[in-house]
Amino acid sequence: MSSTERDVQAGRVLGTWRDGMARFLGIPYGRPLTGEARFAPPDTDVGWEGVFDATVFGPSPPQASVTSGPPGSDPDDYLRLNVWTPDPDASGLPVIVWVHGGGFVTGTSADPSFEGTGLARDANAVLVSLNHRLGMDGFALVDGAPANRALLDQAAALRWVHDNIAAFGGDPAKVTLYGQSAGAGCVAALVTMPSLHGLFRRVILASLPNAYQSPERARQVAADVAGRVGARPTAASLARVPADVLVRAVAEGLERNSPGPVVDGEVLPTDPWTAFGDGALGDVPVMIGHTRDEYRLFVARAGLLGRVPAEQSEHALKTLAPGSPEAYRTAYPEASPEQLYDLVVSDALFRMGTYRLAELHEGPTYLYELRFPVPAEGGALGSPHGADIPLVFDVFDEGLGLELYEGEPSAEARELGAEMRRAWGDFARAGDPGWLPFDQDRRLTRVFDGQLSEVRYPEEASRRIWAETRFGPLPPS
């Protein structure tokens, strides 16, 4: 591998060429989050003498089952970002800023699932990925700290992109924000923040979660977690609790209370459905979609594939379905209890909220559904949550690619991935991925399967069930 250097506002950075791509890894965009800084806005006054070594990923945010970072690194110094560029001497390349998922409590830009070479290469774009605060540090609503610190981190990274991306061949006027799962939840929040308008031109939302919190619920979550570690729900008190202790406390309470974006009225003025419905994005093109079998991955990870108890299915129908649970039984008369469970949880957590944003956005909207079945579990997963990530990033031998595609994708999977990367690149470049836009009458949807097609929205039965539902912040539990 040969080296390459570029100048950014904070100083000079050293990257490497690998597989025809220049990579600059672990560039700081904020100062270490030590002590009281853990719950403060990000401090972006960074700089260094000499040349910064950007040849390895920086530390990852505190979380379960993820190593901190390179030996000898400061574990609090994780506000870092990464850049892949096919030509750092170019000008005007489109830019894709990737925000990872992970339920708002896990994830890192160092995850090999998100290695950016394939997407940057086939999209002919500059790809940026980033770390941000997670869990309580990122989202807890506590006295003495601003809300949504994770969003403030991401906003700081987006401003870094605007100020520095030209040094890597990118055009700061052609920035596409792209997030999947919790990352889509963050991106949908970012684009509703008026202070960031003008810093992005297009938006890609994949498997958007219905996970925004009212202030009342967020304070409930913060008090619950703080109480389990013997602290008070204040920034000063929680800053004295070691990060790994807070991580464990959050993990223990995930089924009941989990941190997430808070519609606090200041950092996040309103929820995305309200903002999109009010025309907040104007004519910004939005590409939005979900997988067909969103929740099957979580069923499998829980060891319940083929064994979901009938009472668990009934409970999900009663608590998640809008109106009467009979609506699902009527709409899906041949579905087993486990299939009904998959349907109602997939709809409630991901599919219907994602679809509703497509209905609400006034500007150009491109809807898609991934229906390509993954080979894991003998094909029993269908097309689950996360099945799009290996396809879009062209990474099948690590992370999600190994879990879902078993490390050896078929020729059809490789061809589909190449088509998706082309579409993502076309959208980032010109705001048009290559299929007809969505409208309320035809509801045209690009289906990514073995055969590409444009059809009326495939999940019509669920759409009808949820047609009158208003999505918004979750109330206290």
Instruction: Show which residues are catalytic.
Output: 181, 294, 385
CA-only gyration radius of the chain, Å: 21
Give every CB contact of residue 303 below 8 A, 6+ residues apart in sequence: none
Angle at Cα 49 formed by Cα 59 and Cα 164, nearest 5°?
70
Q: Burial-class residue 79 by CB neighbours within 10 Å (0-12, 13-18, 19+).
A: buried
Other CB atoms within a 10 A radius of the CB of residue 272 amount to 30
Angle at Cα 33 formed by Cα 29 and Cα 36, nearest 5°?
140
CA dist 156 and 160 (Å) reads 6
Q: Which helix (H) or strand (E) holds 446?
A: strand 444-448
CA distances from 225 to 140, 306, 365 (A): 9, 33, 39
Give every CB contact of residue 295 below 8 A, 6+ residues apart in sequence: 341, 342, 345, 346, 349, 350, 384, 385
E strands along 59-216, which residues? Answer: 80-85, 93-99, 126-130, 170-180, 202-206
312-323 core/surface letters (b: 16 or more CB in 10 A; e: else): ebeebbeebbbe
Name the residue among 144, 143, 133, 146 with its Cα closest to residue 186.
Answer: 133
Amino acid at 343: L
CA dist 448 and 353 (Å) reads 20
Contact 48, 94 (CB under 8 A): no
